[in-house]
Structure 1
Amino acid sequence: MPDDFSPRSGRAYSRSYREELQRRRAARRYLLLGVGVLVAVAATLFMTWMPDALSGRAATVAAVDDGGPAERTAALPPLNLPADDAAHGSGMEWWYYNGILDAANGERYAFHVAVFVATGLVKHTAMHAAVTDLQTGKRYASQTRTGGVPAQAIANGFDFSQGRWRVAAAGPSHTLRTASDDMAISLDLKDAGPVVAHRAAGSKTPGLLDFGKAGISYYYSRPRIAAKGDIVVGGKTVSVSGPVWFDHQWGEFDASTLGWNWFALHLANGSDVMVYQLFDAEGRKVMTAGTVSDAKGAVPLKGEDIELTPGASWTSPVTRIPYVVEWRLRLPSGVYDVKPFYPDGEFDSRQTTANVYWEGPVRVSGSAEGQGFLEMSGYDRLANLAAGRR
């Protein structure tokens, strides 16, 4: 893959959108995030780490002293679960869920939900949710933002509630409730699988990531949490169930000049693949890393283990931002083609977090079948940069 990564250009980037991004530049200093991401950071999602599998019971994960060079992360308290499920009051913190859920009638729905807490001049909380009807491709999205942190302080968990939203967890039990005029999510989740604590390749400190000048972050995942509940779209309620990916990240770090492509994939053979590619504000590739895990443990993926080749792109008709939505992923275990169920996965969160990102469900084919989520963040800045050079 070339050292420079940038979405395919050649499309006009509206003057009004460029001006709006400039007006919001100051806000980005205090809250810029990614998916699902997720989801989904995500996507989460700008890290280079090696994971460890932890049991679901309480655990303190300490650094390993093998006589090697000292790490900055070793000076911080080790990851301590389940206590670290709770909020930490750090500069940046988020809790993120994504999943593709099945209904008894054969219908399928994809979703992501995220809570972001940022502390700048003031502390504020943003919540994002989206549902994609995989029968029709119709996408429903909702977001909210408030000053402060609308949460109850509970041991070994979290409980965020605002209006029709609630995102909470206590021990292995999680609750998701979101609602807007045309969409609602009501899920109860139960975690019985291992936790994956992430660390940089070569690091002796699991659960902590050193981003260099950008700071240090704690990060762990629960790749498969069993979920049951209801999805409401367009006035129709459907009972659904399926595996959900959960991420939790916090620390004193700054991602305002970084972007990423983040993959969270459930394969039919029972393994879970997480891969991310990090790039800077100029679109130059910074690092690529990830992990493959299953119920037996986790195998780290270094940069040289991963080859990501961009394929087809999609340009948002609203923001004119181009996104690479098809990828070929080459790992030691095989070659995987990752394609979206539908190309429109853009989440316009300018009103709550001053950025725009892509977060949506994907299919996996090739060496193994599967499904999951792709998150792409930072493409708005790349598009704005390209427009400024024209």
Structure 2
Amino acid sequence: MKIVYIRFQDFKKRFYISSEREIVRSFKRLGLESQLIAFGKKEDEPKFVKLFNSFKDIKILIKFKISLYLFKMRKEKIVFVFDPNSLILFLPNFLYRKILGGKQKFVLDVRSIPVVNPTKKEIERFKTVLWLSYFFFDGFSFITDETKKICEGYIKKRFSNYTIYPSGVNADCFFVRNKNEKIVKSYGLENKKVIFYHGSISKKRGLEELIESVEKLKKDYKDLILFVVGSGDRDVEKNIVETKNILLPPVTYEEVPEYISVASVCVSPLPDLIWWRGASSLKVMEYMAMGKPLVLSEIKPHLDVLPKDIRGYILYKPTSSENLYKALKEFFENREDYEKEALKLSQYVKTNFSYDIIAKRVYEFYRTKLFGENDEFLYRE
């Protein structure tokens, strides 16, 4: 069986978004034939990533090229895994299977729902995708059970043949390591208390509250600085810089751990909004994999991935910047205890959230639920 993930997304613009790439990488590592298809012009992608492009990035032409490429696989035993943006690309292969038969299976993979003030048009388009896949697809995968429930609410239908798989961590990339001294020296972080955040920047992600709490904490600790790697809302970016903190543009997936290494404590300040309740906390798992202490808002996606028997993290109610300030102060007042406990988080993540673990679970869904194979399968170790 071959597995092909199709993402109608520009990898040049989304190069720091890693979930699609890493799940396919793990399939390959386990000895499974797999591929990731998207569009863009990056030249440093792994061999299992195939990117399509066209003159002036004309999307209709790119879709035609991808559809033609997929149609060439019409006679293979294959699982096509589409994201909502690429759904229309299934049509030629679906019609071929409908008329002439074949061993193709179609899966819709939902990693997120329309968030941050979506337009009515965006919501209706998303509902249309769910409706079409509900009637014509063979299976579904969702990033969290909450995401599945939200999708079911949109179309007033229950999905039956599905699997849940969260974001994961590449354990070969994210692990406990010493500080990157080059980064420390480049940004003057010697003897600094570094509060770290990486990812998308927006007012809906609690970044303004984070900046406010850090500025208040600087009155208690003069050697404190906020270090942010990411991009997004220009006003928030300007605020980070004007408060004399550090803001860097997104870096490659492989570079992210080097920047996390300089952190004293890592923060995920998401507010308790409905669209975050269905999220999977990728950055939190990456922080834990590197054994970093955490300060986190007390919301469902954070609670879902945290161990109950290991400390090393502080939770706060995301109702005000004052609560975040108190949580950060609590960390620095008891820093050694939290640092010691946080080291245990690395093995916990490797055991429960590595992409290899997730890839096996997803492949078993494809084998047993889509193709009805119940024999034991031996993975390459």
User: What is the TM-score with the length of structure 1 in the denominator?
Assistant: 0.27
User: Which is greater in Rg?
Assistant: 2
Higher strand share: 1
TM-score (norm 2): 0.27
